[in-house]
Amino acid sequence: MPVAPEVAEKLKEMRKRLREAERLAGVKPDYRQPAQEPPDEPQQPSPEGQPPKTDLVIQPPTTPAGKANQVLKWIVSGASEFDVAEAIATTFPTDDQAELLLAGIRLLREATAIDPDTLRAFSFEATRDIYRKALEISDFPTALRALRQLQDIAH
């Protein structure tokens, strides 16, 4: 079944992140599915000789709260349940997968228990920041949309 190019790109990026996390963890996983894409080109070091920056976890968290937070990040990033389970197994091989997944979901549920006034204030400040940045780069349509959004938030 064909997928949209954006989805295919997102999947490729997620697989790349997972492989990098596995490499950093020093784990060679036993995949249940064959790879469906050619291997990516190895990343070249930056001009300063430093390895390229990634938003992966360089050092896996060791505390239960840190592990649950990492699982939450994987969930929020749009990873499938299978990808999250593989990432947990790879990054935290000695921990109970189900327990970590439930801890991540618990954090997600707790995030919904936010005070409406706090959410409104956060939305207001974030939209105001978008307006400011849109003006800086002369993106006037976005600035106008942000103004409309601020007006909606205010009422």
Instruction: Report how many domains make up the chain.
Output: 2
| Residues spanned by the domain of 137 | 116-154
Q: 22 and 66: one domain?
A: yes
Asked whether residue 138 is assigned to any structural domain, the reply reads yes
Token pair in block for residue 124? 């207001």
How far lies 58's CA from each of 13, 54, 135, 140, 142, in Å? Answer: 17, 9, 36, 39, 35
| 74 neighbors 92 (Cβ within 8 angstroms) | no
Q: 71 and 109: one domain?
A: yes
142 C-beta neighbours (distance < 10 Å), count: 15
Instruction: Express each pLDDT in 21-66 by its tens digit.
Output: 666 666 555 554 444 554 555 555 544 444 444 454 556 777 888 8
Is the model's pLDDT at 142 over the cut of 80?
yes
Angle between helices 64-76 and 81-91 (to 10 degrees): 150
Token pair in block for residue 59? 């050092």
Q: 81 and 135: one domain?
A: no
Instruction: Express each pLDDT in 81-90 by its tens digit.
Output: 888 888 888 8
Q: 128 and 79: one domain?
A: no
Instruction: Express each pLDDT in 104-140 by its tens digit.
Output: 888 888 877 778 888 888 888 998 899 999 999 999 9
| 90 neighbors 18 (Cβ within 8 angstroms) | yes
Q: 78 and 144: one domain?
A: no
Q: 140 and 101: one domain?
A: no
Q: Classify 86 as helix, strand or coil.
A: helix
Q: 122 and 69: one domain?
A: no
| 127 neighbors 153 (Cβ within 8 angstroms) | yes
Q: Which residue has the tokens 């409104």?
A: 120
Q: 10 and 66: one domain?
A: yes
Q: 89 and 131: one domain?
A: no
Asked whether residue 50 is assigned to any structural domain, the reply reads no
Distance from C-alpha of 21 to C-alpha of 71, rounded to nearest angstrom? 13
Q: 18 and 90: one domain?
A: yes
> Which residues touch 97 (CB under 8 Å, ≥6 apart)?
85, 88, 89
Kindly report the pTM of this predicted structure.
0.42
Q: 19 and 68: one domain?
A: yes
